[in-house]
Amino acid sequence: MMEQKLKVYIYKDGKRPVFHQPRLKGIYASEGWFMKHLQASNRFLTNNPKEAHLFYLPFSSQLLVDYVYVKDSHSFDDINRYLKNYLDTIKTRYPFWNRTDGSDHFLVACHDWAPIETKRNMANSIRALCNSDVKEGFQFGKDVALPETNINSPQNPMKEIGGSPPSKRKILAFFAGQMHGYLRPILLNHWENKDPEMRIFKRIRNGYSWHMKNSKYCICAKGYEVNSPRVVEAILYGCVPVIISDNFVPPFFEILNWDSFAVFVPEKEIRNLKNVLLSIPEQRYIVMQERVKQVRQHFLWHNSPEKYDIFHMILHSIWYNRVFRLQPR
């Protein structure tokens, strides 16, 4: 139905580089790849705003930080002022925001600060956010959980996927990363160099992807915020994600049954992490790993969008939430 009916209007207003200039590399690249694909879409775009079901606000939350935020100011006043000026222009030139108070408008933003950047001026809009934290204002039924994808090569965004079959994955659990936030030091305190089956490290120079390809479970522990690119990385490498991040809303949860291919461990249970994983029967693990491979198609960026890929899934989540909000209560 979405492919048959949905029409999106992109405002032409807004100056580069914050607007209309997708950044296609790094851990925040989801917002850029979505922008790139939507701007090039023949199926979903319309040049006639009167026939649009949704209106896209085409800015980068990452570039707001790079070009508008005053470094070390610890204040979002400049970003709030910048976005307010933009919306004032939209409200003056077009009637569409005012007729719904922005509820049929949406943004796609992956920077950790995006919930704060947008909560004042765009709180009523549909916000697709990588930082999908219910404690930071993420709203079920309105906002969309955006997958965080780490893109190293814009020419080939998902060049390395797959991994060893279950029978050859001899490592029980793997984690490596910087010590961001309060949770990861706790994880390391309990498990670093404590058990050969639990490969828990600080950041490592080599072997990161090898470990993911050869581990049964990949630990996706929150950093400063609830989101982490490890969730998608685990899926791409065929490693069952183990999400340790209270208040995290997983992407596409309205469509995908995450409990069928991922493990959610409360933060307070880190000390029992190995027992939790060992309590999962081998046959159950094999089924979960197969489902990880099945859902992988929904987390892949392609140079040109393909049916059911991450671009279509993000757009569907936005469309789904807009349709749901239109239903009578």
Same domain assignment for residues 203 and 88: no
Tell me the pLDDT band of 13, cut-offs 50, 70 and 90. Answer: very high
Residue pLDDT, tens place only, 56-113: 999 999 999 999 999 999 999 999 999 999 999 999 999 999 999 999 999 999 999 9
Q: Does one domain contain both 43 and 136?
A: yes
Per DSSP, the chain holds a count of helices (H) and strands (E) of 12, 10
- The answer as to whether 115 is a domain residue is yes
196 residue type, one letter: P
Count up the domains in the chain and report the number: 2
Whether 156 maps to a domain, the answer reads: no
* Predicted local confidence at residue 200, as pLDDT: 98
Residues 247, 211 share a domain: yes
What is the pLDDT averaged over residues 242-247?
98
Task: Work out the average pLDDT over 261-279.
Answer: 98
Please indicate, yes or no, whether residues 92 and 193 belong to a single structural domain of this protein.
no
Does some domain include residue 242?
yes
Q: Encode pLDDT of 30-72 as tens digits.
A: 999 999 999 999 999 999 999 999 999 999 999 999 999 999 9
The rounded mean pLDDT for the chain is 96
Helix (H) or strand (E) holding 34: helix 29-39
Q: The whole model's pTM is what?
A: 0.96
Task: Using alpha carbons only, give the angle 325, 105, 232 rounded to the nearest 5 degrees.
Answer: 85
Parent domain of 189: 166-299
Residues 289 and 318 in one domain: no
Task: Say if residue 194 is in the same domain as residue 126.
Answer: no
Task: Please determine, for residue 272, whether its predicted confidence score (pLDDT) is greater than 50.
Answer: yes
Is residue 160 in some structural domain? no
Residues 16 and 146 in one domain: yes
**At residue 327, does pLDDT exceed 90?**
no
CATH code of the domain containing 276:
3.40.50.2000
Compute the distance between CA of residue 194 and CA of residue 49 in angstroms, rounded to an integer: 60
Band of residue 326 on the pLDDT scale cut at 50, 70, 90: low
